[in-house]
Structure 1
Amino acid sequence: WVTPEAEQRRFDARFFLARAPLGQEGESDDREALKVYWASPSQLLAECQRGAITLFPPTHRTLELLVGARTVEAAMTLPSRTTLEVICPRFVLEAGLPVLALPGDPAHEVKTPRIPGGSRYVLDDGRWISRNSPS
């Protein structure tokens, strides 16, 4: 994932999947990772939906992709089935709401989807919500 061109600070967001050794503990960096705990992808998505935590689109979509994996072994097979093509959302305003259109969305210049799931994220009431394009 690459931040949209409309952003002043641009960066690549990369996600890595690895087995954690038994007893492994996470640690906060006090900047981005403010709260550290173990949870399943479905638990984190539910917390996000309730408004208990904030997930930005790249993290949210990665968790959506991991939901179907019921075991670590199943999760470890996912990277071989996902794209390495760049996903650079396009920022647009629709009906007064900020929208991040993903490749495959009618509002994006890349017309072929590069990742499963909704074709866009809409910022609604302070939360990014995964949706399909209305058209």
Structure 2
Amino acid sequence: MPTELVLPPGFVPEDPPDPPVTPRDSATVMLVRDAEAGIEVFLLRRVRGMAFAGGMTVFPGGSVDPRDADTSVAWHGPEPAWWGRRFGVDPALARALVCAAVRETFEESGVLLAGPDATGVVSDTRPYHEARRQLVERETSLAQFLADAGLVLRADLLRPWANWVTPEAERRRFDTRFFLAAVPDGQRADGATTEAAEAGWYRPTDALDDWKQGRRGLLPPTWTTLAELEECGSLADAMHRDRTITKLMPRVVRDGDVLRLLVNGEPGYDSAANHLDARPDDRLERR
């Protein structure tokens, strides 16, 4: 983690819950595309005042809905067992995570990773505007929407990327699986969601520069993922990377007047078991 990357004031409570809150399973999707200046990713700036990550720049995503586990979803691509092996979960949860990734992406960006069959992909999502609203309002499920529209979920359009768990010191915790997906030809990401104050396409380099200049707030998982995408020369490069998924469970430590995160394997991680009460190690003190 870079020296400048600290948690926003008030993001972590002074009195962490004891015992820690059980994290909710969730999915987030980095939508990417090729552009003249290089790979671009779709980002949302969350509305200020939201209970979690208000004002921060994020990728589309959200919590798993119980109905995401519906086994009647018409499915093409790697089976749930394959996704389960990649994320270290059972096939039932893996199915729900993939469905949540597709549903949340459609709800928050208007991009639909589905098609009429195993070889086709929706090129115009405007006919599904009402269905999108119904999904947001929980008036219908992803399985019902796809069945009514005669569509197949295209799991083969997604790639597993990472797994981050919110630190135990926080009151709202998520066990988030990160996916990568290319925007299908003809579709347009619009960010028309009440959860976002603005949305758009950015080169990872530009988004990180905005953060350095104080124009954009990034949580550590988003910062790290953008830095990883920055290393990808093209959409094809990103989509074909064979990544080993390690569950990253950051711990919070004090560094002077600010709070930082340490991730698995970093010096001081093991000694930070008590989180906010843990003393920074020598590496932090040298900063």
What corresponds to 1:13 in structure 2? 176
Alignment deviations for residues 73-102 of structure 1 (CA, whole Å, 9 cap, x no partner):
011123x23x32210100111223211111
1:93 pairs with 2:257: no
Structure 2 unaligned blocks of 5 or more: 1-163, 272-282
- Equivalent residue, structure 2, for 1:84: 245
Residues in 2 aligned to 1:29 and 1:87: alpha-carbon distance in whole angstroms:
29
**Which protein is richer in helix relative to its size?**
2
**For residues 60-85 of structure 1, what are the alpha-carbon distances to aligned partners after superposition, in whole Å with 9 as ceiling and x for unaligned?**
1000001011210011123x23x322
| 1:25, distance to aligned residue in structure 2 (A) | 2.0
2:199 is matched with 36
Call closer, same or farther: CA 1:71–1:13 in 2, change over 3 Å.
same
DSSP 3-state at the match of 1:21: coil
List structure 1 runs of 4+ shifted beyond 6 angstroms: none
How far apart are residue 22 of structure 1 and its match? 3.7
Whether the 8 Å CA contact 1:90–1:107 is kept in 2: the answer is no
Alpha-carbon separation, structure 1, partners of 2:173 and 2:239: 29
Q: What code does the residue aligned with 1:58 have?
A: P
Residue 18 to residue 6, structure 1, CA distance change in 2 (3 Å): same
Q: Count residues in correspondence.
A: 110
> How large is the Cα RMSD of the aligned pairs?
1.9
Q: TM-score, normalised by structure 1?
A: 0.72
Which has the higher relative contact order, 1 or 2, with Cα contacts under 8 A spaced 6 or more apart? 2
Q: How does 1:101-116 map to 2 (within 5 A)?
A: 101-109=262-270
Indicate the percent of aligned positions where both proteins have the same amino acid: 36
Residue aligned with 2:176, SS: coil
Question: 2-side partners of 1:108 and 1:28: how far apart?
Answer: 39
The one-letter code matched in structure 1 to 2:193 is D
Separation (CA, whole Å) in 2 of partners of 1:28 and 1:104: 39
* Inter-CA distance 53–28: structure 2 relative to 1 (3 Å threshold): farther
Provide TM-score, normalisation by structure 2: 0.36
- Which residue in the other structure is 2:232 paired with? 69
Note if 1:27 corresponds to 2:191. Answer: yes
Q: Considering fraction of residues, name the structure with more strand.
A: 2
1:3 matched to 2:172: no
Q: Secondary structure at the match of 1:51?
A: coil
Q: Aligned with 1:58: secondary structure?
A: helix
> How far has the Cα of 1:34 moved from its partner?
2.7
- Residues 26 and 107 from structure 1, CA distance in 2 versus in 1: closer, same or farther, beyond 3 angstroms? farther
**Cα distance, 1:28–1:105 mapped onto 2, change above 3 Å:** farther
Q: What amino acid maps onto 2:206 in structure 1? A: Q
**Which residue number in structure 1 is paired with residue 49 of structure 2?**
none
Structure 2: how far apart are the matches of 1:29 and 1:12?
23
In 2, the alpha carbon distance for the partners of 1:102 and 1:21 equals 34
Which residues of structure 1 form unaligned runs of 5+? 111-132
Q: From the CA coordinates, give the structure whose radius of gyration is larger.
A: 2
Q: How far apart, CA to CA, are the structure 1 residues paired with 2:250 and 2:193? A: 27
